[in-house]
Amino acid sequence: MTGFGKSVVQLPGKKITIEIKSLNSKSLDLNARIPSTYREKELHIRNLVAKSLVRGKVDVGLYVESTGEATNTKVNEGVVKEYMKQLETVVSGDVEEVDLLKMAVRLPDALKVEREELDENEFKAILDNLNSALSEINTYRTDEGNSLKTEFELRISNLQRLLEEVITMDVDRLDSVKVRLEKAVADLKVELDENRFEQELIYYLEKYDITEEKVRLKNHLDYFTQALDSEDSNGKKLGFIGQEIGREINTIGSKSNFAPMQQLVVQMKDELEKVKEQVLNVL
C-alpha cells in the first residue's frame, strides 16, 4: 500500500500544494496537516481520503504559499506607537525614531494576524486537486499491486510444486517409518504378539498420516490464487489464508518424522514467509 500523489493548484495570490503519501499498515492510519484557514473542512477531506485509500499509514499535507502582495498580517499601529512612546522615555540619549520603531515591532502584539475567511470556490478548487492527487496515488498503488500479484503467483506456484514433491515422497516416508518401527522392536529381542504389534503399527502410521493436511494445504493454495483475482479488497483475506497455509505446513513438518520431507517443509516455510512480507501491501 505504498504510494505517492501530488497536485498543485494556482489561485489568485497563492499556490496550494497537496501531497499524499502512504505506507504499509493493517488498517487506515490517517494523519492530516492542514492550515487553520481550512481546518473547518478537515473532516470532509479526511472522509474523501479514507473512502479512496481504505488502508495504509497515510499522510496528507496541504501547503499554502503566498504568491501575491496581499497578506493577512497587519501592523498594530496603536500598540506600536504606544511602545515607541514608552521606549522614548526609557532610552537615554538621542535615539532615532526609526530605531525606536525597530525595537517596537519586535515586542508582543506589534503585529496582528487577521483571520482569513474560507472562500468556497477556492475550497472547490482544492477538492478537485485533492481528487487528482488521490487518483495519482491509486494509480501508483495499482501498478505496485500488479507487480505484487506476479510475485504472489510465483510463490504460490513454488508452494504447489513443493506440495507435489511432498505427496510423491509420502509413500516412501511411511515405508521408512514402518521399517524403523519394526527394527526398533526387533532390537528389543523380545517376543511380541503379532496381532498386537500390527495394531500398534497401524496406530503409529495413522498418527504420522498427513493426508488431511495435504488436501487442506492444496485447497488453501487454490483459494489464495482465486482471491488474487477477486474484484473486492482482499488484503486481509489473503493474510488469513496465509495463516491457514502456514498452519498446514507446520503440521506436516511436525508429523513427517522424515528428514527429506522436513527439508521440503523448510523450503515451503521460506516461500510462505516471502508471501507474508508482501501481504500488508495489499488493500
pLDDT, tens only, 67-115: 765 566 677 777 778 878 777 777 766 667 777 777 777 777 777 665 5
Percent of residues, the chain, with pLDDT higher than 70 = 84
Q: Which of 97-101, 149-153, 276-280 has the lowest mean pLDDT?
A: 97-101
Q: Is the CB of residue 282 less than 8 Å from the CB of residue 55?
A: no
Q: Are residues 66 and 78 in the same domain?
A: no
159 & 210 share domain: yes
Q: Where are the alpha helices (DSSP H) in 54-90?
A: 77-90
Q: Is residue 280 predicted with pLDDT exceeding 90?
A: no
99: containing domain: 73-113
Predicted pLDDT of residue 90:
72
Q: What is the mean pLDDT of the chain?
A: 83
User: What pLDDT is stored for residue 240 in this prediction?
Assistant: 93
Q: Model's pTM, two decimal places?
A: 0.66
pLDDT of residue 120: 82
Phi-psi region of 56 (alpha: psi -120 to 50; beta: other; left: phi over 0): left
- pLDDT class for 157, splitting at 50, 70, 90? very high
Given this model, what pLDDT does residue 190 score? 59
Decide: helix, strand or coil at residue 241: helix
Instruction: Provide the 10 A C-beta neighbour count for residue 73.
Output: 8
* 16 and 49 both lie in a single domain: yes
Same domain, 103 and 230: no
Q: What pLDDT does 185 receive?
A: 62
CA dist 280 → 24, 94, 181, 236 (Å): 6, 71, 45, 8
Q: Which amino acid is at 134?
A: L
Distance of CA 163 to the CA centre of its chain: 30
Between these two residues, 17 and 121, which has the higher pLDDT value?
17
pLDDT at 48 > cutoff 70: yes
Let me know whether 194 and 101 are in one domain: no
Q: How many distinct structural domains can be found in the chain?
A: 3
Cα 59 from Cα 65, distance rounded (Å): 19
Same domain flag for 12 and 60: yes
Same domain as 220, residue 146: yes
Shared-domain flag, residues 26 and 94:
no
Are residues 133 and 77 both part of a single domain?
Answer: no
- DSSP letter assigned to residue 22: E
**Residue 31 Cα distances to 9, 36, 91, 130, angstroms:** 21, 15, 50, 15
**Are 20 and 135 in a shared domain?**
yes
Grid cell locating 197: 504389534
Q: What is the pLDDT of residues 192-238, one digit of tens each?
A: 666 666 666 666 667 778 889 999 999 999 999 999 888 775 788 89
pLDDT in tens, 117-150: 677 888 888 899 999 999 999 998 888 888 889 9
266 and 176 together in one domain: yes
CATH (domain of 54): 3.30.230
- How far apart CA 196 and CA 130 sit, in angstroms, is 77
Range from 155-159, 251-255, 278-282 carrying the lowest mean pLDDT: 278-282
Same domain for 49 and 168: no
* Residue 38, C-beta contacts closer than 8 angstroms, at least 6 positions apart: 45, 62, 118, 123, 126
CA distance 19 to 30: 13
